[in-house]
Amino acid sequence: MNRRPGAASAQVAVQLVGVGEQRDHDEVVVEEPLLIRLAWPGGSQAVSVTMRTPGADGELALGFLFGEGILPADAVVTGVQVEQQGAQGDSVTVSLAAAPDPALTATERNFYMTSSCGICGKAALEAVRTRSAYSLAADSLTVSAATLQKLPAQLMERQAVFANTGSIHAAALFDADGVRGAVMEDVGRHNALDKLTGLAYAESRLPFSTCGIVVSGRASFELVQKACMAGSPMLAAVGAPSSLAVELAWEAGMTLVGFVRADRFNVYAVPSRVIQD
């Protein structure tokens, strides 16, 4: 394997069968562990290990800690230090001005996340029904059907790593005019959304009260939860939602759209924000 330290993709040897063009290398997305740690005057604690694609590691840590309810919106973050350790796995330390609430950093909250599912390993459903500090029900965001149908193409146009590898997820904000701002990519769909939220957290741009979130994969319960925690009133997914995602969207007052295509989509919860053309 040939890759630069911190790069999102790598070249690997490959044998092509059944095609005319002969190549001996292909570009694949990088997947490596990242340790997320909290630190404060007089103490520190390892919180989680996630398998992720390198890049925006600081934003990933901030978004994860915020989305889990461990890092309150009013927390004073004094530093975010990223340490690249190669094969040993990289780490991010988020430093706080004061010690966090012990109840939020209890050891039973620590869990290992794979790139496909950040919710795996949590002991009970109630542990992930984190309540958002933001109310979505009264949010006035509305989006036309035509705008929603354009989102997948707009997202794809700006997925630089996907263009080279074909195997990475993305998350971005959108409003009535379509995709806006940064498009964050990661091998894990929940990591891509954490990177998006963490970027906004670092820039004091939360909540996402005037924007929806579009994701390239399916709409899992965890993505709805993270969108809710970030204060977004709408989640649009290229793939399908799960039953629990639909349930939580209705509970939170979030519009949930799935199977978004250029000519169609399904609205699974709170359809009032979607304007029919």
Provide the residue ranges of all domains of the chain, joining segments of one domain with +. Answer: 32-128, 143-275
First to last CA, the chain: 50
The predicted pLDDT at position 95 comes to: 98
User: Hey, which of 23-32, 104-113, 228-237 has the most confident mean pLDDT?
Assistant: 228-237
87 vs 241, more confident: 241
- What pLDDT, in 10s, does the model give residues 156-196? 999 888 778 887 999 999 999 999 999 999 999 999 999 99
- 143-144 and 111-113 beta bridge pairing: unpaired
Show Cβ contacts of residue 228 under 8 Å, excluding neighbours closer than 6 positions.
132, 134, 136, 248, 252, 254
* DSSP-derived 3-state class of residue 144: strand
- Closest of 215, 158, 169, 154 to residue 53, by C-alpha: 169
The predicted pLDDT at position 232 comes to: 97
* DSSP-derived 3-state class of residue 9: strand
- What pLDDT, in 10s, does the model give residues 32-81? 999 999 999 999 999 999 999 999 999 999 999 999 888 998 999 999 99
Verify whether residue 120 is a known catalytic residue. no
State how far the Cα of 118 lies from the Cα of 50, in Å rounded to an integer.
8
236 vs 107, more confident: 236
Quickly name the fold that domain 143-275 has: Cytidine Deaminase; domain 2 (3.40.140)
Inform me whether the pLDDT recorded for 113 exceeds 90.
Answer: no
86 vs 246, more confident: 246
Is the previous residue joined to 207 through a cis bond, with omega within 30 degrees of 0? Answer: yes
State how far the Cα of 92 lies from the Cα of 90, in Å rounded to an integer.
7
With cut-offs at 50, 70 and 90, classify the pLDDT of residue 277.
Answer: confident
The size of the chain, in residues, is 277
Catalytic choice (117, 120, 211, 228): 117
- In the chain, % of residues over pLDDT 70: 84
With cut-offs at 50, 70 and 90, classify the pLDDT of residue 225.
Answer: very high
Quickly name the fold that domain 32-128 has: Ubiquitin-like (UB roll) (3.10.20)
State how far the Cα of 79 lies from the Cα of 37, in Å rounded to an integer.
12
Place of tokens 């630069």: 4
- Closest of 223, 261, 264, 262 to residue 241, by C-alpha: 223
Phi, psi of 182 (to 5 degrees): -70, 145
The predicted pLDDT at position 2 comes to: 60
The mean predicted confidence, pLDDT, of the chain is 87
Inform me whether the pLDDT recorded for 5 exceeds 50.
Answer: yes
Domains 32-128 and 143-275 share a fold: no
The predicted pLDDT at position 207 comes to: 95
